Chains A and B, each alone.
Chain A
Amino acid sequence: MTSASKGRAIVIGAGHNGLTCAAYLAKGGMQVTVLEASGQVGGAAITREFTDGFRVSAGAHLLYALSPDVRRELALERYGLRLAAEGLSTIGLHPDGEVVAVRGDQLEGPGALDSDREAMRRYAEQMNRFAAIVWGLKDQLPPRLGTKNTGDLLSLAKLGLRIRRLGTDDMREFLRIAGINVYDVLEERFDSDLLKGTLSLDGTLGSFLGPRSNNSVFCALHRFNQGQGYAIPEGGMGTVSIALDGAARAAGAQIRTGARVANIRMDFDRVCGVTLEDGEELDAGLIISSADPVTTFERLLGPRHLEAGFANRVHHIRNRGCVAKLHLALDGTPMFTGLDGEQRGQRLVIAPDLDTVERAFNHAKYGEYSANPIMEISVPTVFDDTLAPSGKHVLSANVQWAPHDLAAGWSEARDDFEALCLDTLEAYAPGLREQVVASELLTPADLEAGFGMTGGHWHHGEFSLDSFFMLRPVPGAAQYHTPVNGLFLCGAGSHPGGGVMGCAGRNAAKAVLDQA
């Protein structure tokens, strides 16, 4: 390894975490090069034209967890980050036109039962208090367990203290529900089936979990981002990445698109650089990968450089992507029954009741797509006219469950599934079908190919109690550095996980700078 490459770091992947990490490393005085396989920065946080004149957030489509620290420290506003709408409410739809709107801890709309209004207030307040505990960890370096290291013990003590501070009643409730499922918790608290179904989406969206699956409460906690709520960036999610890109470049990072890394090169027990697919070799003493752990270790590095137990753990990271992305170009306003004006731009949810959601999940367990799919819908053009010609709209929907490994095979089933999605939407927004100018369906298989996410899984690995904090992505790599000298992780596969947050990238940069 040349002495020149010693202070040089290569970040693999210009997803939002890769860019965030690069920006902080560059600010930290490192010589950073970001290598992005595709022709565009942003990874799954991009805006893309999917048909003439219509642009859409091709991956993530709602902003709800972007780290305030990242936003401030990297001055993202200066580099173009603007919100077209924020504090969106979540509106549950029902085929018969009934709607329930949740804004923070408030239930809106005539349909809401008084018993539920009070219950919703208590539920949201409590979940926010509990979420604060989980979110409180998001900027923390996960500790190692079983050690005598004071730092580790201290951060655990802090966690314990935070839980204690809840007070007896809340602490008991936290310890009771943190490990169970939203089905039972929602049944305990609410009456309206539509409301229960709508709220259950938070516990299952993007996960291989149904409402009855334990762990779903834990997943739901991550949607209660201290009441921050959902927002739509102006110009789509790509705006976030472009801002991060600007911040990184301004800090001195070099960013190359169209540069696909073929493999990570080793020099005995330490990484020494990467080889691109076109054969070009780059040297670097530090390599930080925002690619998912399976891609990083199995494809780019190769298991032969790993100890057997560790390789085994990596191999079993659960990457069963099960959400498809549907994009529709519409030549008119989608007329969702029971909604008017800006309501159509809120976070719309199709999850009529708990059992329907649970049954939809049943299919995924056997490699089938849901007969009655569950959806999270956004029509950003209600607030943002930069995405489509005036008067026209873009509809973006997360549809589940659509397992990556579809038994029937996606090439055969994709058209049927897309038709099923349109039928479903038609039932909630009569006339929508006629409005469709063009459509695009991204199955988990497409997401895998397009964004390089193994299994097409948003979070680079199932998000659950068994892969959280000091267990994420796997023990041995949970502190961002890996068993391989000089190789770090900074993607959604690492703590605190997926969603356009930037925390993993920021934490990783901290860990790198502390070591280098």
Chain B
Amino acid sequence: MKRYDAIVIGAGHNGIANAAFLAKAGLDVLLVEKNEWLGGAAVSRNLHGDWIYSNCSYVCSLLRPEVYRALDLGKYGLQVVPYGGSVTINQEGDYLGSYVDEDASRRELMRHSHRDADASVRYHRDIMRQCRFIRQFLLRTAPDPTSFKPRDLLELLHIGKKFWGLGEETIYDTIRFYTMSIVDYLDEYFENPLIRSAYASSGIIGSAMGVMSPGTAYVLLHHAMGDVDGTAGAWGFARGGMGAISDAMHACFEDHGGTTIAGNGAQQILVRDGKVHGVALENGDEVYSDVVVSNMTLPRTFLECMDPKDLQPEFLEKCRNFKIRGSSGKLNIALEGLPEFPALRGNKELICADMHLIDSVERLERAYDDWKDGTWSRDPYIDMLIPSLTDPTMAPPGKHFMSVFVQYVPPKIKGRDWTDEDRDGFRDTVLNQIEDYAPGFKDLIAHVEVRTPRELENEVGLTEGNIFQGELTMDQLLFNRPIPGYAQYRGPVKGLWMCGSSNHPGGGVMAAPGANAAREILMDLKKPNTVPEGWLDD
């Protein structure tokens, strides 16, 4: 009976990264995936003609450069191409552009408000301070504040020192930043509605909060703390779609002798005398190892893939209370040609940028009110890109792939499950919204893939369709993520590990949870560490 040194469940980017780091350390690792294809939510799918969809995650910035280097992803074919800025289009046919060229961006801000153009200098300085602060902790394991273990005390001290080192003023700003709503935070900088909505929208991506909910300022940070080629805050496309990231990681994994089973997911995690000893697969086969790493969400791992008898009732209760409400949907659209946005007046740079359709924080907040009432937003916030303009491999010549991310979309409709009618209604709401800004857009559509929380859960396994594998609120961050007392990637059963985005530092194509978990596993197995620690670039 073959026993592996470790079995990783779920070939999402965190699972593959985790497996690759373990394999690099010389472990005999088995990677198990329920789908025929690998990548989880970091995937490129060919679902219509010669179009390639990044059909879940669609842009890249958070991926830790240390992981990129440590796994030599460049060698395995990953190429991240930055794209030009962003643009927010309002209903009056005007827009706010943000360019790679800082002077152009400033002129654009001044076009809307001189006062805000000045404030933006202060704003970007303050945000950058917060980014530089939090980045240091992404590739570190969070301490347990209740523990007296030297390791936890030292890590607490480390964080405390860094925090104190910010200096009095910045410390106050940091506390306020983590507890304020993005709207209240922006109030202290900006007056122009379009500018305010443009910045505010980053505070709600993937979150079940409104722009006026305290705690959303952090979510903005979560989307600003990445970089492309050392340009902090920049975003880019993975050439060939987001799947290129997973593929490169997987190539590295196989290069180091890893084994992969696809199209046959984990049915149950096997436990014998209080220790894991393997995994039963969907087809009935069993694979064995003393180390099982789950890249699935917290609820999926413990409420669906384990025998309740193997777990404490209190722990199961905490899993049930884990907040993982989906709030986003996505449309992947194959276009016969390039849509016209009259507002952009043929601006060649901005059509390649990240396009937002919003013009006031009140509109954003009302979109959230619909979510609370159990329906998708009637006037949704839309974040869309046309990657094929930057990466021609995504669509046939002259044709285009458009990625449309939508906020808000509830996990259930008025308390009941989604139906196909609901899904179509949601699709039409979104398409009409875009049509309003780009007349004739609908006529260009060759194919649409609609992703509601239902599809995200059924296909990718994201419980309730939450793209972060768990909400990013203070009760589920740092040492609270996913559950207080289990924030160090160790499960409640010996030999069981967690490496998904349900764990610190959370969602986004970051590979940090997978990397951190691998570091902890290798430490326990007394194997040489292959995982970078801390933020080496700052």
Contacts and interface: CB of A to CB of B under 8 A. Distances in A.
A106 B308 CA distance: 33
Contact of A471 (B176, B181, B187, B214): B176
Interface residues of B, number: 37
B475 A180 contact: yes
A466 B484 contact: no
A146 B166 contact: yes
24 contacts: A145-B172, A146-B167, A172-B146, A172-B485, A173-B484, A175-B145, A175-B479, A179-B475, A180-B473, A188-B321, A212-B209, A213-B181, A213-B212, A215-B214, A309-B169, A312-B188, A316-B188, A366-B365, A465-B179, A465-B214, A466-B179, A471-B172, A471-B175, A475-B169
A515 interface: no
Given A179-B475, A362-B369, A471-B176, A147 B484 contact: no
Nearest to B215: A214
Interface string B356-389: 0000001001100100100000000000000000
A176 B480 contact: yes
Contacts of A168: 146, 485
B185 to A, nearest CB: 9
Contact of B475 (A177, A318, A355): A177
Nearest to A209: B214
A466 B188 contact: no
A177 B475 CA distance: 6
Given A146-B171, A466-B184, 8 more contacts: A146-B164, A146-B170, A172-B146, A178-B474, A179-B215, A215-B215, A316-B188, A466-B175
Interface string B180-195: 1100100110000000
Nearest to A188: B321
A404 interface: no
B372 A358 contact: yes
B176 A366 contact: no
A184 interface: yes
Interface string A330-367: 00000000000000000000000001001000100110
Contacts of A464: 179, 214
Interface string B467-490: 000000111000110001100000
A327 interface: no
Contacts of B213: 212-214
B121 to A, nearest CB: 14
Given A146-B167, A316-B188, A215 B372 contact: no
Contacts of A312: 188
Contacts of B366: 366
A291 B369 CA distance: 36
Interface string A384-403: 00000000000000000000
Contact of B168 (A144, A172, A466): A144
B168 A171 contact: no
A470 interface: yes
B179 A179 contact: yes
Interface string A152-166: 000000000000100
B161 to A, nearest CB: 11
Interface residues of A, number: 37
Contacts of B171: 145-146
Given A173-B484, A184-B323, A470-B172, A318 B184 contact: yes
Contacts of B484: 172-173, 175-176
Interface of B: 145-146, 164, 166-172, 175-176, 179-181, 184, 187-188, 209, 212-215, 321, 323, 362, 365-366, 369, 372, 473-475, 479-480, 484-485
B168 A214 contact: no
A168 B145 CA distance: 9
Contacts of B474: 178-180, 214
Contacts of B146: 164, 168, 171-172
Contacts of B209: 212, 214
Contacts of A209: 214
A197 to B, nearest CB: 15
Contacts of B475: 176-177, 179-180, 184
Contacts of B215: 179-180, 214-215
Nearest to B188: A316
A172 B164 CA distance: 23
Interface in A178-192: 178-180, 184, 188
Contact of A214 (B169, B170, B214): B214
Contacts of B169: 146, 309, 475
Contacts of B473: 179-180, 214
A171 B175 CA distance: 20
Interface in A199-252: 209, 212-215
Contacts of B181: 213
* 8 A-B pairs with least C-beta separation: A179-B474, A172-B484, A146-B168, A465-B179, A466-B176, A214-B215, A475-B172, A214-B214
B416 to A, nearest CB: 16
Nearest to A179: B474
Contacts of A175: 145, 479-480, 484
Interface string A439-466: 0000000000000000000000000111
Instruction: Pick the most buried of A168, A214, A318: most chain B CB atoms within 10 A of its CB.
Output: A214
Given A213-B213, A214-B213, A466 B180 contact: yes
A358 B480 CA distance: 26
Contact of A365 (B179, B323, B362, B485): B362
A312 B118 CA distance: 14
A365 B168 contact: no
A280 B179 CA distance: 45
B53 to A, nearest CB: 34
B214 A212 contact: no
Contacts of A173: 484
Interface in A63-101: none
A175 B143 CA distance: 13
A171 B172 contact: no
Contacts of B212: 213, 365
A144 B215 CA distance: 23
